[in-house]
A and B are shown apart, each in its own frame.
Chain A
Amino acid sequence: MSLESQLLQYLFAGLTLGSIYALIALGFVTIYNVTGIVNFAQGDFAMLGALITVTLYQRTGLFNRVITVDLQLPLPLAIVVAVILTTLIGVVLYVLAIRPARGASVISLIIITIGLSIALRGLGLIIWWTDPYPLPVFTPGPPIEIAGAVLTRQNVWVIGTMLAIVIGLYLFFEHTLLGKALRACAVNRDAARLMGIKADQMALFSFALGAAVSAIAGIVITPSTFMAYDSGTLLSLKGFVAAIMGGLTNAPLAVVGGLLLGLVEAFGAGLLSSAYKDAFAFLTMFVLLLVWASGLFGRRLVEA
């Protein structure tokens, strides 16, 4: 393999990984904008989405093989149901864990989300045990070859899904009344309430949206990387790194942040050492937090 095609290969890998981080980051930004909460359970929704899909799609033993689920739904149906279920779980968690703490400091609420993340991981462990689960690629077939580099069909699915969701969210936030109401809550919560916008409903909706987007991200990446009960943690952290590159409030920049992070990881792993793949991501975060406390592109808005 020539150096050029190798670099191109890293580029493909980076964009694929980066697409996932971008989606998780979008969840962070959506929820943060509307509620001021950094939801560290974001990645765990990805895990739930993927593992629920697996359970619906193939014969799966749950609770240490005590229960066997043998629905064998067709993959598209399994995906839709899993996304809906994960979204509902997001809503229920909001209602049970976040809403009762309304009025508590933002730090307390963030700690609650960390607790939720730990709880979801524990639940995942009890239900699915420690096995990593695969999903079949969505459309089997030979990969696409470009200049000696290989782009698998699933990579195309991942990048395409990310683009579709970004465009969908853009249209939603810019061109629908509900989307505008969510943005209004983000800009000025009190003023939004004076317009009759139920801020609490919007907060709930943002959690639903965040959970759905994460679930989709988790599902599309599983055919290439597998998913286990604890995979959500790393996804949360990397999505968070991507989100802070956009100052946590800017969705387009969070997407750019996600892609950049994916590229840093892929090139770092390819050119230096794959053993430190995750370290590159966190080194990036470390440097970012050190140098640009309010995010790479964000305004200098640091809470005291």
Chain B
Amino acid sequence: MAPLLEVHNVHVYYGRIQALRGVSLEVHEGEIVALIGANGAGKTTLLRAISGLLYPREGDIRFQGRSIRGLFPEQIVALGISHVPERRQLFTTMSVLDNLILGAYYRYRQGEDRAAIRDDLEMVFSTFPILKERQQQRAGTLSGGQQQMLAIGRALMARPRLLLLDEPSLGLAPLLVRELFRVIAHLRDRGMTVLLVEQNARAALRVADRGYVLDTGSIALSGTAQSLADNAEVQRTYLGQLRQAM
């Protein structure tokens, strides 16, 4: 089966500085793929290139067999890719409910049945009950964990086939991180495909099916999540804390 997302030899520059040097990866339908790597390795850059916020100077990005390189983010979301950006990027001065409604913006604009959107809103509320309770509150007043839930809920309102998650565990307490990864696994069980960028490599590899290790702009390693977690190099570089903890 052809992959849902295919990133082929992508090069991205910030001005004259090269951030990605020929990155290739694949994400198949129904998978959770973890992308791990140190700060500045280019993980966020890759997600921004996939969702159209950055333009790759070279290479191709194909989604469902169709090239999406050079499309605008507002077109790409309508094709079925939702990007939950780093540090949530909520509409902080607007209500929780408005954030969720805007998540379905392109669906409203395409004249999609309101009942279907309402159903998805109920689905988000049942996944994240706290959002239902706080729906009239300003997004900026939520706690970090709740904001992350809202950011994911907002992305789900676009009814994506592929979810790009950028550092969802950033700044969250350990208990919330566990809750978050439970939600991600739950989404996969319902058929969602997820490309997960994480610095918390241990937690990411535990939930993922496969993984890629990004190092200074190129893929250094790839394989099943288990094989990466067992890899001595990965353990030393990215799972160091595991050993310290043990």
Q: Which residues of A179-201 are within 8 A (CB) of B?
A: 180-181, 183-184, 187-188, 190-199
If A177-B101, A180-B101, A181-B105 touch, whether A196 touches B77 (CB-CB below 8 Å) is yes
Work out how many contacts link A and B, with CB atoms closer than 8 A.
70
Does B69 lie at the interface of the complex (its beta carbon under 8 Å from any beta carbon of A)?
A: no
Q: Is the interface of A mostly helix, strand, loop or mixed?
A: helix
A183 touches B91 (CB 8 A): yes
Residue A187 contacts which of B78, B82, B93, B109 (CB distance < 8 angstroms)? B93
Cα-based distance from A117 to B94 in the complex (angstroms): 34
Give CA–CA (A180, B83) in the complex, Å. Answer: 20
A188 touches B77 (CB 8 A): no
Number of A interface residues at 8 Å Cβ cutoff, please give it.
17
**B73 is an interface residue with CB less than 8 A from chain A:** yes
Q: Residue B29 at the A interface, CB < 8 A?
A: no
Report if B103 contacts A (CB, 8 A).
yes
Residue of B whose beta carbon sits closest to that of A181: B105
Contact flag A196-B85 (CB < 8 Å), given A181-B105, A184-B94: no
Contact partners of A192 in chain B: CB under 8 A: 91, 102
Q: B98 on the interface (CB 8 Å rule)?
A: yes
Query: Which residues 264-280 of A sit at the B interface, judged by CB distance below 8 A?
Result: none
B237 within 8 A of A: no
The digit string for A73-84, where 1 denotes a CB below 8 A from any CB of B, is 000000000000
Query: Any chain A CB within 8 A of the CB of B185?
Result: no
> CA A183 – CA B92 in complex, angstroms?
11
Whether B105 contacts A196 by the Cβ 8 Å rule is: yes
At the interface, yes or no: B158 with Cβ under 8 Å from chain A?
A: yes
- Whether B89 lies near A196 (C-beta < 8 A) is no
Instruction: Across the interface, name the chain B residue whose C-beta is closest to A198.
Output: B74
Contact A194:B102 (CB < 8 A) given known A183-B91, A188-B90: no
Task: From B82, B92, B108, give the contact of A194 (CB < 8 A).
Answer: B82
Residues of B bordering A, CB below 8 Å: 51-53, 72-74, 77-78, 82-83, 85, 89-94, 98, 101-103, 105-106, 108-109, 154, 158
8 pairs of A and B residues whose beta carbons are closest in the complex: A196-B106, A191-B89, A193-B73, A196-B77, A187-B91, A195-B105, A196-B74, A184-B91
